Amino acid sequence: MANEFSRRSFIKGMALGTMAGYFGSAGLSSTVFHKQMMPKDNTKKVDIGQIKSLSVKVISETSWFNNAVLLNDIKKSGGLLVNQYEIPWTVEGVKEGYKGNNAGGFATLIEFEELSGKKHKLLLDTGWNVDWTDKRFKEEGIDKMLANKEIEALIISHEHFDHYWGIEATTKYNPNIHVYVPKGFYQEGFDLLKGKAFPKAHVKNDHPHTGKLDVMDSSKIRPIYPGVALVTFDVPIITRVFGEQAFIFNIKDKGLALVTGCCHMGIITYMEFAKKRIVGGEKIYGVQGGMHISPFEDWDPQYDDLVLALHKYGIEKLGPNHCTGYVTAEKMIAAGLPVIKGTARNGSKRNIYLGNGDKLVFA
């Protein structure tokens, strides 16, 4: 029965494919074809509410200090599909590293105000190298904000070493903090949160988490405050990581602001999701964070299409950093996209985009 069904679906699909080919050769655009032939997308948009204002401060976008060293660690261990906890990452002897350690990490402070005037602070990701992350936390006062519970929650975008393994830098100041992780976390990730060490990968957590833990799946859009939602994407990611979540904010009189960690789901997928599924999605006002286009500063001609595709969204504030890559930022600027410049301080190498200690005020 199942076979019969799939066989019939296949034949039906083939017929549609042939028709698409016919319409194409008849000079009808695929958009016209799509509108005429495909069932209407009846997915209802979700109203997440609105906020009054939002600002995002980059605490560290420097995930590692030397690309070649990182790539060599991965290569020596068997390649990009190897479990990140099984890789003996280089933690000493790197000239550009922090005290010789190649690990840095990614962390971002998010501040927003509800329409009622109530203010909130959240931390997106918690770095990799605990010493580096702690140094950046102290320089930006994050240590105090955590200790006095001003920062209400830690949102982990995904399980990658450079976003999550510095967990101790957060839990040492507030072990009871509310943590949100995306579905797809491996047992190692949960064990690390609870205090397990992984000596081979040089990762540990001497300050076990004692607070509330939410695992967010992709079945729903989750408003965590009025006007603030987390969305999760089921995406397989290099070094055996799975799943990534990101923010969608709805700013009154401005539009949506999207804030991401690494964006392994793809920047277009993320924006299309917001556009189609969130009330107010017709206006994407801004995007900030790692956009995962050329993290290793390579360039593929298809990335040009991606940069050009960003134009159609009418974004007013674009704050790429981290795994977006400098080469991508150059292309974005050349294409006339509104990339916000940084100040090249605190370990960030170039001012082409927002770096460590730079703040993007959306509204």
Contact residues toward Fe ion (CB under 5 A) are 160, 162, 262, 323
Assess contact for 331 and 307: CB atoms under 8 A: yes
Cβ-closest position to Fe ion: 262
Q: Which is nearer to Fe ion, 284 or 323 (CB)?
A: 323
Q: Which is nearer to Fe ion, 73 or 162 (CB)?
A: 162
Q: Which is nearer to Fe ion, 162 or 188 (CB)?
A: 162
Q: 3-state secondary structure string, the chain?
A: CHHHHHHHHHHHHHHHHHHHHHHHHCCCCHHHHHHHHCCCCCCCCECCCCEEEEEEEEEECCCECCHHHHHHHHHHHCCCCCCHHHCCCCCCCCCCCECCECECCCEEEEEEEECCCCEEEEEECCCCCHHHHHHHHHHHCHHHHHHCCCEEEEECCCCCHHHHCCHHHHHCCCCCCEEEEECCCCHHHHHHHCCCCEHHHCECCCCCCCCCEEEECCCCCEEEECCEEEEEEEEEECCCEEEEEEEEEEECCCEEEEEECCCCCCHHHHHHHHHHHECCCCCEEEEEEECCCCCCCCCCHHHHHHHHHHHHHCCCEEEEEHHHCHHHHHHHHHCCCCECCCCCCCCCCCCCCCCCCCEEECC
Minimum distance between the CB of residue 342 and Fe ion, rounded to whole angstroms? 17
Residue 200: half-sphere exposure toward Cβ, Cα within 13 Å: 8
Assess contact for 110 and 103: CB atoms under 8 A: no
Other Cβ atoms within 10 Å of 312 Cβ, number:
9
Minimum distance between the CB of residue 305 and Fe ion, rounded to whole angstroms? 22
Minimum distance between the CB of residue 125 and Fe ion, rounded to whole angstroms? 8
Q: Which is nearer to Fe ion, 57 or 160 (CB)?
A: 160
Minimum distance between the CB of residue 178 and Fe ion, rounded to whole angstroms? 22
Q: Which is nearer to Fe ion, 235 or 262 (CB)?
A: 262
Give the rounded distance of the alpha carbon of 335 from its chain centre: 23
Q: Which is nearer to Fe ion, 140 or 162 (CB)?
A: 162
Q: Which is nearer to Fe ion, 51 or 323 (CB)?
A: 323
Q: What are phi and psi of 313, to 5 degrees?
A: -85, -10
Which residue has tokens 């999701």? 273
Which residues are CB-neighbours of 204 under 8 A, at least 6 positions away? Answer: 168, 192, 196, 197, 198
Q: Which is nearer to Fe ion, 63 or 205 (CB)?
A: 63
Q: Which is nearer to Fe ion, 289 or 357 (CB)?
A: 289
Minimum distance between the CB of residue 53 and Fe ion, rounded to whole angstroms? 27
Q: Which is nearer to Fe ion, 154 or 262 (CB)?
A: 262
